[in-house]
Amino acid sequence: MKIFDLEKHSLREINQSLQTSEITEGKKIYEIRNPKGSHAVAVGLKAKINVNIHGSTGYYCGGMNQKAKIHVFGSVGPGVGENMMSGDIIIEGDASQYAGATGHGGVLLIKGNASSRCGISMKGNDIVVLGNIGHMAGFMAQSGNLVVLGNAGEGLGDSIYEANIFVRGKVSNLGADCIEKDMRKEHLVTLKRLLKKSNCSVKPQEFRRFGSARTLYNFEIDNVNLY
């Protein structure tokens, strides 16, 4: 195990080391101590390595992640897992705004609550939140799955495209062009897979599915107030 300490090493030095193939090919487990809310910790990783961060981080932790498994033993600031391509990011605490935004792949697991705009403009990633989510979650989400075991705030799925939102708790209200949809067999299979990966014992049948009503795909004058 390679240990980095932000009281002894600069953030630039740590990120460069984690991004360097010559180093990451030799060791598979890395530990970051004393992050103390630092921004952009463990960003741009491209190797199949494990990075354990002991403490809370600031903006954009794990951004642009590919292949790596990043485990944060604390909470994270805005934009965790932003534009991630693959791999796994696990947050033991809470997440601030726009968690998992614009993600193309991989799984983001938030064991606490997520703030507003969780999963905006998702493009194929999966997000599982064991707690509650704030307003405007899934805004303009194009593909992927947002799974919420708790409650969802206002404007859920506003202007959503073809992503799926699964909510076990209560929904304050739905955003423009978002409706409740049937839960088909393939959705139960997807939910079962994500819940198993997240070590959740709840049943897929306990969730409701929300998605696009597809009324905004083509401009119609009768829908002008929804744009």
Digit-coded pLDDT (tens) for 93-137: 999 999 999 999 999 999 999 999 999 999 999 999 999 999 999
pLDDT of the residue at 159: 94
pLDDT of the residue at 23: 57
User: Minimal CA–CA distance to 84: which of 69, 57, 63?
Assistant: 63
Dig out the tokens for 158 from the structure: 């506003």
Q: Provide the 3-class DSSP secondary structure of residue 114.
A: strand
Q: Which residues of the chain have pLDDT under 70?
A: 21-27, 218-219, 221, 223-227
Q: Do 146 and 118 touch, CB atoms closer than 8 A?
A: yes
Domains of the chain: 2-217 (2.160.20.60)
Dig out the tokens for 52 from the structure: 């354990």
pLDDT of the residue at 28: 85
pLDDT of the residue at 215: 86
Return the ∠ at Cα 12 (arms to 8 and 13), rounded to 5°.
Answer: 55
pLDDT of the residue at 144: 98
**Which residue pairs from 100-105 have beta carbons closer than 8 angstroms and sit at least 24 positions apart in sequence?**
100/125, 100/127, 103/127, 103/144
pLDDT of the residue at 24: 55
